[in-house]
Amino acid sequence: MRWTKADTTQYIPEKQYIDTVIIPLIPFDPGNDQHMVKQAFQRELNQVFTNLIEKEYKGRIFLAPDYYYLEGSQADEKERINRWIHKFKEQPFHHVFLFTFDSKWKKYEGELEGHVLWVPGMGSGDIQSTETQSFVREQAHQISDLIQAYW
């Protein structure tokens, strides 16, 4: 399920079946030329990943709107994330996963009310290349296994 009109309409009467939410955590820093390209690539990769997982498990996983934050502001952001998670849990979603390539979240995992799914990702590359595609497929498959272990 996605945050679209069609999917949310389908979600509401069936919410007992859809108990898992994935929130993509995407850092960016528009003031930094050095990191801009890499961050933009990570954002694309993050969307490809989460869309792939959502497609495969549409009937049980809800893909939340992307959570954007300024790079390196984890200490300030953890409150805001927890507010998001509380809202989702009111639905009720039982499993909240935070999907990110930003390893800094690992340090704050204990203070967050969802499971951090940190994936090393790729530093750079071509989103269309077959190499990236097979990497994403393989990783997405393993992440799905991990999520299923919580069900």
Residues that bind another protein (CB under 8 A): 10, 14, 17-18, 55-60, 144, 148
Q: How far is the CB of 25 from another protein (least distance, A)?
A: 24
Judged by DSSP in three states, 102 sits in: coil
Q: For 107-120, b where at least 16 C-beta lie within 10 A, e where not — what string?
A: eeeeebebbbbbbe
Looking at the Cβ atoms of 55 and 86, the one nearer to another protein is 55
Token pair for 89: 């849990």
* Residue 54 to residue 62: CA distance in whole angstroms: 7
Q: How far is the CB of 149 from another protein (least distance, A)?
A: 12
Q: How far is the CB of 1 from another protein (least distance, A)?
A: 8
Looking at the Cβ atoms of 17 and 31, the one nearer to another protein is 17
Looking at the Cβ atoms of 18 and 117, the one nearer to another protein is 18
**Torsion angle of alpha carbons 107, 117, 131, 125, nearest 10°?**
-40
Q: How far is the CB of 56 from another protein (least distance, A)?
A: 5
What single letter denotes the amino acid at residue 148? Q
